[in-house]
Amino acid sequence: MKTLAELRAEKPAARPERSLTVCLAPHIVAEIQALTGELDSLPSAGSDDPDQAGPPKRAGQGAPPRAREIRERLAVLLAEMAEYEGELRVRSSEDGEWRRWVNEHPAREEKTPGHARDEEVAFGYCNADDLIDSLATYAHSWNAEQLADGDWPILAASIGGPDLKQIATAVVAMHESRLDFRNWRTGLSASLKMFSVSDSPAPTDVPPASSSDESPRSATSTTTPKTD
């Protein structure tokens, strides 16, 4: 645990940040949604004759040709979608600057247009629409590359409305919600230990050669690690 003297000697701490995964290809998302909806509406293999005798068909066997076409197209779209996904990191402003902005852009009153959106997106702290319009203030990097002036409008033009709302919500939470670091660190540490144990190769138990009549355990036998 660092002392005050050590903290004084260090550089000022960086401002809080949040990371979100964003897709910059809403047209691909729309096509995927349309195709999956169509796929769900197609009859499944053998659905026209549920009493048909014989062994069950393997997955995909007897599926309508359109179903195969859709699955092939979905595979292509998912690969394209991955190319447009990235990590957007937002960084908080100074607390005083945030407070002044919130005071200048208060949430709308009940029974007025936009009030429900302010509650949903901004938890009632501020005007959600104004915050979405001001996200350039907080957008810091894309895939770890710091944004330059003029980059945010390029990104925002390809980000769908629901994602913009999610980014705005993250900005509010970043300024207004406290993260319990002790519980968060403890829980994460416990998870890492659990995965470390489960991912480690199981030891091979091969006893030394012996003149005893007892058969040695197979070299392929393993010991299953105990996990809590």
Write down the pLDDT at residue 209.
Answer: 42
Q: Give the tens place of pLDDT for each residue, 206-220.
A: 444 433 344 333 333
What are the backbone angles phi and psi of residue 17, rounded to the nearest 5°?
-135, 160
pLDDT tens figures, 53-77: 545 545 445 568 999 999 999 999 9
Distance CA 68, CA 38 (A): 12
Higher-pLDDT residue of 95 and 198 is 95
| pLDDT on residue 7 | 75
Alpha carbons 112 and 118: distance in angstroms, whole number:
11
Q: Between residues 45 and 67, which one has the greater pLDDT?
A: 67
- Length of the chain as a residue count: 228
CB atoms within 10 A of CB 168: 24
More confident position, 168 or 96: 168
Quote the pTM value.
0.66
Per domain, the residue ranges of the chain are: 24-42+67-85, 88-192
Tokens of residue 26, six digits: 């809403």
Q: Which of 112, 106, 137 is nearest to 124 (CA)?
A: 106
Asked whether residue 156 carries a pLDDT value surpassing 70, the answer given is yes
Q: What is the mean pLDDT of residues 183-208?
A: 64
Counting residues of the chain whose pLDDT is more than 90, the rounded percentage is: 57
For residue 61, give the nearest of 45, 49, 50, 74 by alpha carbon.
45
